[in-house]
Protein backbone atom coordinates (compact mmCIF):
# COMPACT_ATOMS: atom_id res chain seq x y z
CA UNK A 1 0.00 0.00 0.00
CA UNK A 2 1.40 3.39 -0.99
CA UNK A 3 1.14 6.43 1.27
CA UNK A 4 -0.01 9.69 -0.31
CA UNK A 5 2.93 11.43 1.35
CA UNK A 6 5.61 9.27 -0.25
CA UNK A 7 5.96 8.16 -3.83
CA UNK A 8 7.96 5.00 -4.53
CA UNK A 9 9.98 4.64 -7.75
CA UNK A 10 7.81 3.53 -10.65
CA UNK A 11 8.32 2.25 -14.18
CA UNK A 12 5.48 4.51 -15.35
CA UNK A 13 5.43 8.29 -15.25
CA UNK A 14 3.01 9.39 -12.52
CA UNK A 15 -0.28 10.78 -13.84
CA UNK A 16 -1.23 14.41 -13.37
CA UNK A 17 -3.88 13.34 -10.85
CA UNK A 18 -1.34 11.25 -8.93
CA UNK A 19 1.10 14.18 -8.78
CA UNK A 20 -1.68 16.56 -7.73
CA UNK A 21 -2.75 14.19 -4.93
CA UNK A 22 0.87 13.76 -3.84
CA UNK A 23 1.40 17.53 -3.65
CA UNK A 24 -1.82 18.05 -1.71
CA UNK A 25 -0.64 15.55 0.91
CA UNK A 26 2.92 16.91 0.97
CA UNK A 27 1.78 20.52 1.40
CA UNK A 28 0.47 19.61 4.89
CA UNK A 29 3.80 18.16 6.07
CA UNK A 30 6.77 19.74 7.81
CA UNK A 31 10.30 19.87 6.40
CA UNK A 32 12.34 16.67 6.65
CA UNK A 33 15.37 18.41 8.23
CA UNK A 34 15.95 20.78 11.14
CA UNK A 35 18.24 23.49 9.72
CA UNK A 36 15.42 25.25 7.85
CA UNK A 37 16.49 28.60 6.39
CA UNK A 38 20.14 28.49 7.41
CA UNK A 39 21.33 28.62 3.79
CA UNK A 40 20.33 32.30 3.80
CA UNK A 41 23.26 33.17 6.05
CA UNK A 42 25.65 30.29 6.61
CA UNK A 43 26.23 26.68 5.68
CA UNK A 44 24.49 24.45 8.22
CA UNK A 45 26.64 22.09 10.27
CA UNK A 46 26.42 18.41 9.42
CA UNK A 47 25.45 18.84 5.77
CA UNK A 48 27.52 18.41 2.62
CA UNK A 49 27.72 21.77 0.85
CA UNK A 50 28.03 21.74 -2.92
CA UNK A 51 28.82 25.29 -3.99
CA UNK A 52 28.98 26.01 -7.72
CA UNK A 53 29.43 29.50 -9.11
CA UNK A 54 29.65 30.48 -12.79
CA UNK A 55 29.73 33.73 -14.73
CA UNK A 56 26.73 33.99 -17.06
CA UNK A 57 27.83 37.17 -18.80
CA UNK A 58 27.81 40.87 -18.02
CA UNK A 59 25.28 43.63 -17.62
CA UNK A 60 21.71 44.30 -16.63
CA UNK A 61 20.17 42.43 -19.58
CA UNK A 62 21.99 39.22 -18.60
CA UNK A 63 20.83 39.57 -14.99
CA UNK A 64 17.19 40.06 -15.99
CA UNK A 65 17.33 37.20 -18.48
CA UNK A 66 18.80 34.88 -15.85
CA UNK A 67 16.21 36.01 -13.30
CA UNK A 68 13.41 35.23 -15.75
CA UNK A 69 14.90 31.80 -16.44
CA UNK A 70 15.05 31.04 -12.72
CA UNK A 71 11.43 32.14 -12.29
CA UNK A 72 10.44 29.70 -15.08
CA UNK A 73 12.37 26.88 -13.37
CA UNK A 74 14.54 26.54 -16.50
CA UNK A 75 17.38 25.17 -14.35
CA UNK A 76 15.33 21.95 -14.17
CA UNK A 77 15.11 21.55 -17.94
CA UNK A 78 17.72 18.82 -18.02
CA UNK A 79 15.90 16.11 -19.94
CA UNK A 80 15.70 13.74 -16.96
CA UNK A 81 14.09 15.98 -14.33
CA UNK A 82 11.19 18.41 -14.30
CA UNK A 83 9.13 20.44 -11.86
CA UNK A 84 5.40 20.12 -11.38
CA UNK A 85 3.45 22.17 -11.77
CA UNK A 86 5.83 23.66 -14.31
CA UNK A 87 4.72 27.22 -13.56
CA UNK A 88 4.72 27.18 -9.75
CA UNK A 89 5.46 30.73 -8.59
CA UNK A 90 8.67 31.50 -6.76
CA UNK A 91 7.07 32.43 -3.43
CA UNK A 92 7.73 31.30 0.13
CA UNK A 93 5.74 28.22 1.18
CA UNK A 94 4.92 27.11 -2.37
CA UNK A 95 5.26 23.34 -2.74
CA UNK A 96 6.70 21.84 -5.91
CA UNK A 97 7.12 18.26 -7.07
CA UNK A 98 10.44 17.25 -8.53
CA UNK A 99 9.90 14.46 -11.04
CA UNK A 100 13.01 12.61 -12.13
CA UNK A 101 13.77 9.66 -14.35
CA UNK A 102 16.88 7.51 -14.22
CA UNK A 103 17.58 3.89 -15.05
CA UNK A 104 14.08 3.49 -16.48
CA UNK A 105 12.43 4.47 -13.18
CA UNK A 106 10.47 7.59 -12.23
CA UNK A 107 10.86 9.28 -8.83
CA UNK A 108 8.55 11.87 -7.35
CA UNK A 109 9.90 14.09 -4.57
CA UNK A 110 8.64 17.33 -3.11
CA UNK A 111 10.10 20.55 -1.75
CA UNK A 112 8.75 23.73 -0.20
CA UNK A 113 10.20 27.15 -0.98
CA UNK A 114 11.75 28.37 2.27
CA UNK A 115 12.64 31.94 1.30
CA UNK A 116 13.00 34.25 -1.68
CA UNK A 117 15.67 36.92 -2.20
CA UNK A 118 14.84 39.84 -4.48
CA UNK A 119 17.20 42.78 -3.86
CA UNK A 120 18.25 45.78 -5.92
CA UNK A 121 21.26 47.93 -5.19
CA UNK A 122 25.02 47.91 -5.59
CA UNK A 123 24.67 44.15 -5.82
CA UNK A 124 21.31 43.01 -7.20
CA UNK A 125 20.21 39.51 -6.24
CA UNK A 126 17.39 37.17 -7.09
CA UNK A 127 16.98 33.63 -5.92
CA UNK A 128 15.35 31.22 -3.58
CA UNK A 129 15.93 28.17 -1.45
CA UNK A 130 13.71 25.17 -1.18
CA UNK A 131 13.77 22.44 1.39
CA UNK A 132 12.94 18.78 1.21
CA UNK A 133 9.71 17.31 2.51
CA UNK A 134 9.22 13.77 3.89
CA UNK A 135 10.03 10.94 1.50
CA UNK A 136 12.43 13.01 -0.61
CA UNK A 137 15.52 11.13 -1.84
CA UNK A 138 17.67 13.89 -0.30
CA UNK A 139 17.43 15.84 2.95
CA UNK A 140 18.13 19.53 3.32
CA UNK A 141 18.02 22.76 1.39
CA UNK A 142 19.11 23.85 -2.04
CA UNK A 143 19.60 27.50 -2.93
CA UNK A 144 19.59 29.03 -6.42
CA UNK A 145 20.92 32.60 -6.60
CA UNK A 146 21.72 35.08 -9.35
CA UNK A 147 23.79 38.17 -8.54
CA UNK A 148 24.67 41.24 -10.57
CA UNK A 149 27.56 43.32 -9.28
Question: Which of these, 127, 73, 118, 61, lies nearest to 99 by C-alpha position?
Answer: 73
72-97 mean pLDDT: 94
* Of residues 28 and 137, more confidently modeled: 28
15-37 mean pLDDT: 94
* Of residues 52 and 128, more confidently modeled: 128
pTM for this entry: 0.89
Please check the confidence at residue 38 and state whether its pLDDT lies above 80.
Answer: yes
Q: What is the pLDDT of residues 85-121, one digit of tens each?
A: 988 999 999 999 999 999 999 999 999 999 999 999 9
CA–CA separation, 92 vs 89, rounded Å? Answer: 9
Amino acid sequence: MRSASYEMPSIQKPSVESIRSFLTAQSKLLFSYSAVGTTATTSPAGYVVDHTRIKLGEGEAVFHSAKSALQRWDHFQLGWVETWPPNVPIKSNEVVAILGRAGGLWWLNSCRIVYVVDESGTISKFGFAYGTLPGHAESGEERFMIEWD
